[in-house]
């Protein structure tokens, strides 16, 4: 089995009929020798900001000299990005070998494993085989029944923030969604809540109390933003002055305060050695694709993976901060199961024209339907049959009008859109 065959088997081997629960992944890992039990974790859940938080933690811990595993989803360009050590994706041979071994076990078990369960098991096995010092582990969906939640005693559980998303699975109230994500809190293991939603905070605190977990929040009273340009952000927080963050977006310093608070917990409660120079280097050098990422300066093209109302609202705040008193063109595609009407409404203050496309995903809303919804919201929108056609039309219009182009709505669009942009502008 080679790497390509392994990836195809992972995609085709997963079942959509499996009921939620941790019994399957637990049984599978037991047959593998429970590799997850040999590892240390920072476990990260939340509606938005999980990936960026994980990326920053990974970058700072690496800079401090630790060997760090990073498990995230979904991938942006290459499947192997989901499982990394010190920034390097899992090797092709290692992915093929672990996939073959794990799929053989699942065939013997004759159970309907999900694709994410298979990927999670591969990640645990690979990290254990490579003797990493700590794994930054991102929850896939929710928390309570997420396959990553099979771990027993994380060093720290982080819940970045709570908002409405995946309501069919997680519930349609802030409290119910918070309760699902609070399912990652373990007995006597500290938890950090990075959001500002009071109802969610109360729910998460109650779960922490039940499990005798020390409950932490982020004190942003000392946060001060000094500068924010398309070259990065400079800010103060706590004992740190003049921190430079390479990631763009007004929400990224917000995520950074969660990371800085988490690092203090790791230092004080678990003895991690994280000097100031590692914090500065890690934040300055961190990379994370598709989160208000600058793809081109001439014309200005930015990609943001905001794919729910909170994510789009955050993107809009960033647009208003970087381009005050200016409207921008939007290239966008969305999933049909998202609250796309709320997302469209959020774009109204900043959108000049919307170029709609259909993401290559079974859950995608068609470009035509998306444009019709935009028009019902009194926005100028045109549907395009292909991403290449939308990209070329959008870029030419942005050049004529000297208007920035913001691409957003789904992480599933990133590879095609960024490739089309690179090919068109050379």
- What distance lies between CA 347 and its chain's CA centroid? 21
Closest of 10, 59, 81, 58 to residue 280, by C-alpha: 59
Look at the alpha carbons of 335, 251, 176, 45 in this order and tell me if their dihedral is positive or negative. positive
Mean pLDDT taken over the chain:
93
* Predicted pLDDT at 171: 57
Distance CA 392, CA 406 (A): 14
253 by Cβ neighbours in 10 Å (0-12 / 13-18 / 19+) ranks as buried
- Whether 85 contacts 70, CB under 8 Å: yes
What does pTM read for this prediction? 0.90
Output the six-digit token pair for 115: 């694709």
Distance CA 242, CA 247 (A): 15
- Whether 165 contacts 139, CB under 8 Å: no
Task: Respond yes or no on whether the N-terminal peptide bond of residue 74 is cis (omega within 30° of 0).
Answer: yes
Tell me what percent of the residues of the chain surpass a pLDDT of 70.
Answer: 97
Q: What is the DSSP string of 11-67?
A: HHH--S-PPS-SHHHHHHHHHTT-GGGG--EEEEE-SSSHHHHHHHHHHHHHHTT--
Closest of 331, 323, 370 to residue 350, by C-alpha: 323
| Backbone dihedral angles phi then psi of residue 195, each to the nearest 5 degrees | -85, 180
* Predicted pLDDT at 117: 95
- Whether 306 contacts 315, CB under 8 Å: yes
Where residue 161 falls among pLDDT bands split at 50, 70, 90? confident
How large is the average pLDDT for residues 356-379? 94
Is 154 a residue whose pLDDT tops 50?
yes
Q: Are β-strands 88-89 and 83-85 bridged in parallel, bridged antiparallel, or unpaired?
A: antiparallel
Is 169 a residue whose pLDDT tops 70?
no
* Predicted pLDDT at 172: 64
DSSP state of 363: T
Q: Are β-strands 240-245 and 232-237 bridged in parallel, bridged antiparallel, or unpaired?
A: antiparallel
Is 362 a residue whose pLDDT tops 60?
yes
Output the six-digit token pair for 165: 């998303």
* Predicted pLDDT at 409: 87
In 152-218, the DSSP E strands lie at 156-159, 191-193, 215-217
Length of the chain (residues)? 426
| pLDDT tens by residue, 75-96 | 888 999 999 999 999 999 999 9
Is 188 a residue whose pLDDT tops 50?
yes
Is 408 a residue whose pLDDT tops 90?
yes
* Predicted pLDDT at 167: 47
Q: How many helices (H) and strands (E) does the chain have?
A: 15, 17
Least confident of 126-130, 161-165, 304-308: 161-165
How large is the average pLDDT for residues 18-36? 93
Is 284 a residue whose pLDDT tops 50?
yes
Where residue 325 falls among pLDDT bands split at 50, 70, 90? confident
Distances (CA, A) of 109 to 24, 31, 103, 116, 316: 9, 10, 10, 17, 48
| pLDDT tens by residue, 270-283 | 999 999 999 999 99
Which uninterrupted H or E stretch holds 408? strand 405-408
| pLDDT tens by residue, 202-259 | 999 999 999 999 999 999 999 999 999 999 999 999 999 999 999 999 989 999 999 9
Look at the alpha carbons of 255, 258, 264, 265 in this order and tell me if their dihedral is positive or negative. negative
Please name each of the domains of the chain with its CATH number.
3-285 (3.40.1190.10), 293-425 (3.90.190.20)
How large is the average pLDDT for residues 43-55? 93
Is 175 a residue whose pLDDT tops 70?
yes
* Predicted pLDDT at 47: 84
* Predicted pLDDT at 15: 67
Distance CA 322, CA 338 (A): 27
């Amino acid at each position: 089995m080679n790497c390509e065959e392994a990836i195809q088997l992972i995609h085709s081997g997963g079942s959509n009929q499996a009921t939620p629960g941790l019994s399957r992944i637990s049984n599978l890992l037991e047959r593998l020798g429970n590799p997850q039990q040999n590892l240390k974790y920072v476990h990260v859940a939340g509606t938005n900001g999980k990936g960026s938080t994980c990326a920053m933690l990974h970058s700072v811990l690496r800079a401090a000299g630790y060997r760090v595993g990073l498990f995230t989803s979904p991938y942006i360009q290459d499947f192997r990005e989901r499982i990394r050590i010190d920034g390097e994706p899992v090797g092709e041979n290692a992915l093929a070998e672990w996939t073959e071994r794990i799929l053989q076990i699942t065939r013997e078990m004759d159970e309907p494993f999900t694709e994410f369960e298979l990927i999670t098991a591969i990640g645990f096995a690979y990290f254990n085989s490579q003797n990493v010092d700590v794994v930054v582990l991102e929850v896939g969906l929710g928390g309570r029944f997420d396959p990553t939640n099979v771990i027993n005693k994380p060093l720290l559980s982080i819940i970045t923030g709570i908002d409405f998303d995946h309501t069919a699975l997680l519930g349609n109230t802030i409290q119910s969604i918070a309760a699902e994500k609070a399912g990652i809190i373990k007995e006597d293991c500290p938890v950090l809540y990075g959001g500002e939603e009071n109802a969610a905070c109360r729910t998460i605190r109650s779960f922490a109390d039940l499990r005798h977990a020390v409950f932490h929040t982020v004190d942003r009273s000392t946060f001060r933003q000094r500068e924010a340009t398309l070259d990065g952000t400079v800010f103060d927080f706590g004992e740190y002055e003049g921190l430079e963050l390479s990631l763009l977006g007004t929400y990224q310093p917000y995520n950074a305060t969660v990371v800085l608070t988490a690092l203090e917990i790791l230092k004080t409660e678990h003895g991690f050695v994280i000097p100031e120079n590692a914090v500065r280097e890690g934040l300055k050098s961190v990379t994370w694709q598709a989160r208000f990422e600058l793809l081109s300066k001439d014309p200005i093209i930015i990609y943001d993976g905001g794919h729910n109302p909170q994510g789009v609202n955050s993107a809009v705040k960033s647009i208003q901060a970087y381009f005050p008193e200016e409207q921008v063109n939007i290239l966008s595609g969305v999933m049909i199961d998202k609250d796309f009407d709320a997302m469209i409404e959020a774009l109204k203050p900043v959108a000049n024209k919307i170029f709609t496309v259909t993401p290559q995903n079974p859950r995608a809303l068609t470009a035509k339907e998306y444009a019709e919804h935009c028009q019902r919201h009194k926005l100028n929108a045109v549907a395009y049959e292909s991403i290449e056609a939308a990209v070329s039309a959008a870029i030419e219009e942005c050049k004529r009008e000297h208007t920035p182009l913001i691409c957003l709505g789904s992480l599933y669009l990133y590879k095609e859109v960024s490739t089309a942009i690179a090919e068109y502008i050379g």
